[in-house]
Structure 1
Amino acid sequence: MGVLGQYPAPVMLSKLQSEVKRWEQADPGTPVIPALHYICVTAQADAGRNGLHNLRMPFSQIDSVLRMAKRINALVFLDIQVGFSTVQTELPLLEKYLRMPNVHFGIDPEFSMKEGSVPGKRIGTFDATDINYVTGYLGDLVRKYNLPPKIFVVHRFTRRMVTNYQAIQLRNEVQVVMDMDGWGSPESKQKTYQYFIAQEPVQFTGFKLFYKNDLKNEPHRMLTPAEVLSLKPIPVYIQYQ
């Protein structure tokens, strides 16, 4: 789905470091930390052997991403698309990785199919109760293993992808990022950010840029770092796909 698997590791890491330099130039006063964001559970149209419409990547694949990140001292985000499963089922399966100080977590409500639709047919949803489960779980790991705070990314580009946002509980051990995950023209992305991220703030905000999909509509260009930094609130998490 992203650039992580499209290039040999040296090429991909070089591209990442080039993007890091662009953001350092755009905002010299803010440290820029590279990261690899790996979808380790992917939603599937086919029910699969487990009947859950998801595919769990083997741990060997996660290990390879960790080795890649180590080359440039990058963070790692493990992201899940639960399909017909739940975050309560999938998150504990990744605990051995989330005990690591440089490994963080993400969820994609688009592929949480609580209403029983096949992934890709409708946009899914997570509730504040799901998000609170994750922050509680991650917070427990931070306290138990004396870890630095965990970053928790929640992707979003519609209202119903996250319900009851006012009930999301913040914890000192976890930093929650609501990430604008929609693709399109610069204007449409800016509007989506204002409607669904800025108007329903939780803690921190993020912004995703798409190398291909953002070019489909006029004016056929991506937002620049300076344009993203002009958004209010200023996103602190930037993801390229």
Structure 2
Amino acid sequence: MQSGRGGPAVLAAALSTVLLASGCVGASDRPQAGSPTSGVSGAASARPGSAQPAPTLTPTPTATSPVELPRGGRAIFPHYRLVGFAGHPGSTALGRLGVGDLDDRAREIEKVAKPYADGRTVLPVLELIATVVQGSPGRDGMYRTRSSDALIARHLAAARKVQGLLLLNIQPGRSDFLTEVRAYAKWLREPDVGIALDPEWRMGPGQVPMRVYGHTTGQEIDSVARYLSGIVAADDLPQKVLVFHQVAVSVVRDQQAIRSHPGVAVVKSVDGIGSRQMKEHTYRAVMKGRPRSVHPGFKLFYEEDRRFGPLMTPKQVLALTPEPEYILYE
């Protein structure tokens, strides 16, 4: 019984279109680390792939109290439940977030999120696939392309319009997660920007995306959590979200190595396409052995899941054990 995503080939057909239309840049064009910022001006008018100058960042004014999350407070859980869309401009295959007008999608998240409150405050999430895996090696042989500052600025501006979070999703190819996360250092100094990791696209030496599943380790995830914790402490930021998506047990090895770090909420989001029964089976299998400090998450696919039957309802999702604290639609 197939309960996974159908293999790495799911994204292969979309990649060439995405790389032309999305505003991705090469590895040599990585963002440079900057000072902490709290606002992005001119972001809404920047178009992916355009030759416009980098967005203007507004320095954070001196505050009399610590900066908070978009809807208040300094900690994510247990007050909030996260509900979001994933995607990348230029391809419907990469998720709902890349379809149509970005501000419309952000407002749609708010509507989709309402039934998930169930005693909590919902916090919208835009999960932008920022580092996109590709089928060719590129100039540096890493099989991935990074997003431009202008594209990230547009998504952060859209997230702020709905008082939500922006997560930068990393599909590292032959690179490693910490290297890719550090490439977005200046964005991570924003109080409302976090990280999502996609281990099935973490290739080893000699491996090629779309041909094999990748994998990572608890130690590698923990290194990213530790790095984010350092940023939070240095800039006195509210808690950051670190998500890792997991499609099968083999994709994340030695998860017990993931430790609790101050200022970081780690979420294990169970991936997998199928019927309700198939997805529930995958959820139970992948959640086994979850460290107590790691929060549960669940992913739904608007198109692929419906090939097997009706999309799971919020009531059915919240009936899962453990109850998901992050629900992502792709």
> Normalising by structure 1, what TM-score?
0.94
Match of 1:213 among 274, 279, 304: 304
Instruction: Measure the CA separation in 2 of the matches of 1:67 and 1:206.
Output: 25
Closer, same or farther in 2 for the Cα pair 1:10/1:95, shift >3 Å?
closer
Instruction: Measure the CA separation in 2 of the matches of 1:112 and 1:10.
Output: 31
Q: Which residue of 1 aligns with 2:169?
A: 79
Per-residue CA shift, 1:122-167, capped at 9, x if unaligned?
A: 1111111211110110010111000111110000021111111112
AA in 2 matched with 1:237: Y
2:242–2:265 contact (8 Å) kept in structure 1? yes
SS of 1:134's equivalent in the other structure is: helix
Match of 1:150 among 219, 240, 260: 240
> 1:115 Cα shift?
4.7
SS of 2:241's equivalent in the other structure is: strand
How many residues are aligned here? Answer: 235
2:107–2:162 contact (8 Å) kept in structure 1? no
> 1:62 Cα shift?
0.3
Q: Which residue of 2 aligns with 1:201?
A: 290
Per-residue CA shift, 1:140-198, capped at 9, x if unaligned?
A: 0111000111110000021111111112111132111000111111111111110012x
Instruction: Measure the CA separation in 1 of the matches of 2:237 and 2:141.
Output: 35
Instruction: Measure the CA separation in 1 of the matches of 2:163 and 2:120.
Output: 18
Instruction: Measure the CA separation in 1 of the matches of 2:295 and 2:114.
Output: 22
AA in 1 matched with 2:307: K
Q: Which residue of 2 aligns with 1:225?
A: 314
Runs of 4+ in structure 1 off by over 4 angstroms are none
2:172–2:201 contact (8 Å) kept in structure 1? yes
Q: Does 1:110 align with 2:200?
A: yes
> 1:13 Cα shift?
2.5
The answer to which of 152-161 and 14-23 deviates more is: 14-23
Q: Which residue of 2 aligns with 1:18?
A: 111
AA in 1 matched with 2:237: L
> 5+ unaligned residues in a row in structure 2: which ranges?
1-93
SS of 1:100's equivalent in the other structure is: coil
Closer, same or farther in 2 for the Cα pair 1:189/1:115, shift >3 Å?
farther
Instruction: Measure the CA separation in 1 of the matches of 2:263 and 2:104.
Output: 34
Instruction: Measure the CA separation in 1 of the matches of 2:197 and 2:185.
Output: 15
Instruction: Measure the CA separation in 2 of the matches of 1:166 and 1:129.
Output: 9
AA in 1 matched with 2:319: S
Q: Does 1:159 align with 2:249?
A: yes
SS of 1:14's equivalent in the other structure is: helix
SS of 2:169's equivalent in the other structure is: strand
> 1:108 Cα shift?
0.4
Q: Which residue of 2 aligns with 1:3?
A: 96
AA in 1 matched with 2:144: N
Q: Bigger relative contact order, structure 1 or 2, given CA contacts below 8 A and separation 6+?
A: 2
SS of 1:34's equivalent in the other structure is: strand
> 1:60 Cα shift?
0.8
Instruction: Measure the CA separation in 2 of the matches of 1:37 and 1:169.
Output: 23
Per-residue CA shift, 1:64-93, capped at 9, x if unaligned?
A: 101111111111101100001011211111
Q: Which residue of 2 aligns with 1:47?
A: 137
Q: Which residue of 2 aligns with 1:92?
A: 182
Per-residue CA shift, 1:192-231, capped at 9, x if unaligned?
A: 110012x1212101001110010112xx211111111111
2:125–2:164 contact (8 Å) kept in structure 1? yes
SS of 2:121's equivalent in the other structure is: coil
Instruction: Measure the CA separation in 2 of the matches of 1:145 and 1:174.
Output: 14
Whose helix proportion is higher, 1 or 2? 1
The answer to which of 7-16 and 166-175 deviates more is: 7-16
> 1:11 Cα shift?
2.7
